[in-house]
Structure 1
Amino acid sequence: MSVEQTLRNLEEKINANPHAVNGFHAVYHFLISGAESGNYQVTFAGNQASYVKGTPDEAKCTLELSDENFIKLVEGTLNPTVAFMMGKVKIKGELGYSLKLQTILSAYQS
């Protein structure tokens, strides 16, 4: 699965059942390296999620990781804490928002 398809699937799951993002508002940036490198912005607002390619707005939290690790992170096969400790994921900004992101992702992993 591609990075964009992974983001599209996550957006659809969240918007179909926004229980984990109710009342939450934040902007995240994902700086992806590897074969599918690119920058993406994910926004949680109005009990919905959306993503765009690029980083037009200021983010509360920025994650830098490879395309493979991004897909594993969203699918739940990569432990975010271990990945951070091993340097597979770099986090900039407010660390508390990365923990909230982990909670959101866990809620939508099938």
Structure 2
Amino acid sequence: MILAALFQLWLYFEYKIERWRYPRHISFGSVSYLPGGLVLKYTSTTLGRRDAEAEALRYVREHTTIPVPRVYASVEGYATRFVLMERVKGDCLEAAWHKLDDTQRDAVVDQLRGFV
């Protein structure tokens, strides 16, 4: 119980330090890249969101061959949902998509279709 509370407090301070170091416009979610290949994602709980993202990632990981990050922890505190997960190696498709030619895009679509 104490360990969980300390973990929530650490996540909250990581979140506040990240906001101070890299001020951004107001958004509904942010990501911090941590040492050791970890990612900390935090979103506001004021919109009534549940732990749907972490649950979905766990389900997809256990029931499909789709490569998704392993979720290590998902906690809520200080009006914020924190999800600690592994960082997946590779390029972000959103950033790479415009650089791909039609043949490469078709190959990506076929690969994604194969997962479903």
TM-score by length of structure 1 reads 0.28
Task: Give the structure with the larger helix fraction.
Answer: 2
Higher RCO structure (Cα 8 Å, ≥6 apart): 1
Task: Give the structure with the larger strand fraction.
Answer: 1
Larger radius of gyration: 2
TM-score by length of structure 2 reads 0.27
